[in-house]
Structure formats: C-alpha cells, structure tokens
Amino acid sequence: MGRPKHYSLELVGRCQHLIDGLVGMTARDEFAQRWRGPLTTTFLLAMSTPMIVLPYERLYQPMQDRGGVADDTELDRKVKVNERLKESLSDNSKFGDAPFWSTDQWSYIDSTRYFNIAKNWDHQIFETLNSDKAKADAGAALTKNVLKCIRNALSHGGIAYLDSYGRQSEDATHMLAFAAFPSVKRKNELRILRISVEGYQEFLGKWSAWLTDNGVDTRLSEDGPGWFDGQR
C-alpha cells in the first residue's frame, strides 16, 4: 500500500472504497450465523472511526488552535479543504444545511442528564429520540456540535446498538446512538445522536465525497510526495 501523502483525506477515501467494495460481504451466512446477524454495523463503525477522527484531529482541531500531535493544514495549499471545513463548521452552520447531511432519520438531544450508557437506558430517552422535536433538532443543530459528538463517541466508546424501534433489545441492530459530553466542563450532561445504520452509511459516503471532491488523489499524485515538505 502506498504511503498516504495527506492522511486526513486519503484515509477517508480509502476507507470509503473499502465500504463500497466490501459492505455486502458482512451479510454472508458465516458472519450472520456466528454473530446473530450481519456485521454491517461493526464494519461501518470500524471504518468510520478514522474517517471522522483523522480529519477532525488533523485539520479541524489545528484550525481552532487545539491541535494535537499531527497537523495536516500545511498540506492543504492546493487541496483547499481547510476553507470548506471552516465554513461548514462555523458557529452559524446547521447540520441540516451541511453538504454531508444524509437523511431526515437523524435524531438529536443537545443535552440530557448524565447516565451510564453501558447500562439500560431510561425509557424517556428513547421516547425523546423518537419525537418529531428530536428529528427537527438534528437538522437545526450546529454541524460542529454534531461532528464533535460523533468523534468523541467513536474515540471514547460512547456507542449504543439499538433495534428497529430505537430501543435496546436482543433483536438485530437497525440504529446507532452516539453519546458524548458536550464539553470537558459539562460532564454532568450528555449529548446524544441517533441514526439508522443505513442512514449512517449514507452519511459516511457523503462525508467522504465532500472531503475528497477536490480531486485530492489526482492533485497529490501530480505534485509528488515532496510538494508539501519544502522540496518544491
């Protein structure tokens, strides 16, 4: 495998290519029989972790002066994804208007009292997530808050599998819930997102397409591996 020149974007494209080519295999009998159903949800979560976390940590966080050990913003002189990230994750950008808004199946609770999501959830949480208000709130939520919730849930284990009714049961998984603290100073609260598995797959496809629709592979290949490190 060739070394990625722009991890934040190329790994997203590579993972999406794997989803497109392999997601159908997760429903094969040998998987479904052993695990009481297809491994589609597991596969999407595994693929989506680098797809969300890498751009968030290596592009968005440095733009907010909150970078960690890696900063890809300097690689972006020709790819120009930085400007689009700033626009879509601004304080005025709503998730329902985002280019990677995938479906009206999203539900959103901006803040609820903290509870241990590894245990049985309170019935009222499911009722709230099923409400028309929670669905409308998803589209009205700030895109940056939604992505932060997904990123933190993927990174810290805030994931719950739900059935076709959006509840916890032994039935096959049809929905995913993402839960995370709204901020490090608000650990007595949780922010919660819910989406169907199909809707999440659609979201990942649009997220990948939006990040890489600038021809990143072509541009990086044309310029070679040294265009961003001072060799050109």
Domain range annotation of the chain? 7-223
CB-based contact 181:191 (threshold 8 Å) = yes
Angle 191-202-32 from CA coordinates, rounded to 5°: 95
Q: In a 10 Å sphere around its CB, with 0-12 CB exposed, 13-18 middle and 19+ buried, how is residue 16 labelled? A: buried
d(CA 185, CA 187): 6
Structure confidence at residue 68 as a pLDDT band (50, 70, 90): low
Under 8 Å CB-to-CB from 16, ≥6 apart: which residues? 47, 51, 204, 205, 208, 209
Task: Provide the pLDDT for residue 221.
Answer: 46
The chain-wide mean pLDDT, for the chain, equals: 82
User: Over the stretch 6-47, which tens digit does the pLDDT of each residue have?
Assistant: 666 778 888 999 999 999 888 776 776 777 777 899 999 999
